[in-house]
Amino acid sequence: MMAVIIMISVMVGLAGPAMMHSIGDSRARDLSGQIINLFNTARARATGSGRAQLVRFSLAANNGQGGLIAYEGNNSSCNASNWAAIVAAGCGPDGFCVEQLDPRERQMTGDKLQLSLRTTGAANSWAESDADLCYEPTGITYWRAGASVAGNLFMTAENNGGAGGTLRGGFRFRVQRLSGATQLSVARELVVPLGAGARSGQ
């Protein structure tokens, strides 16, 4: 009987880490899917509501793990909506935020889910600090990244090479599952093209 108990204990000890790794990997995969859903929902909401929809990425959010917040504009135009006031109102009962994504809510104890953005613009790396994607009911998608986020300059796909740098078609996100600086799972990438739905980049 003791031998059987010892064998079961050893098997559980061996299977436990593999099971936890599988669960952690599944959560990273789910986070990628939720990012895709957030952008596609914002795009559909713009058409359904008749109001511009802004999705803002910040690398500094959530203790530097990155985050996304979707806001609804006060009219149909990305450029005419008062985004400074809308963002300042926050996500409380009186705010205009309609959805937010915090990677920390999906990670396991001991893991860190890191959300990064590559715009191929000013940063040209996975270290882009800030970026906005704005959808209008007409189907036009506007964007801005880096220093231009603080200003009032939105660009379309035709503005590549302007003040905001070159976008080359859309935003590219990466989800990493980390323990310290060690990557625990395969990094997952997804793309958010201008004028099309978000999708997996792998």
State pLDDT tens for residues 19-60.
665 776 788 889 999 999 999 999 999 999 999 999 999 999
For tokens 């009186």, the residue is 94
Q: What pLDDT is stored for residue 11 in this prediction? A: 57
Domain residue extents for the chain: 2-200
Q: What pLDDT is stored for residue 13 in this prediction? A: 58
- CB crowding 29-52: b at 16 or more within 10 Å, else e: bebbebbbebbbbbbebbeeeebb
Backbone angles phi, psi at 66, to 5 degrees: 85, 160
Q: What is the identity of the amino acid at 13? A: G
Radius of gyration of the chain (CA): 20
Query: Which parts of the chain register pLDDT below 70?
Result: 1, 3-21, 24, 120-124, 152, 157-166, 168, 202
199: closest CA among 170, 164, 168?
A: 170
The answer to whether the pTM exceeds 0.95 is no
Q: What pLDDT is stored for residue 157 in this prediction? A: 63
Between CA 127 and CA 72 the distance in angstroms is 26
Backbone angles phi, psi at 139, to 5 degrees: 100, -10
Q: What pLDDT is stored for residue 103 in this prediction? A: 93
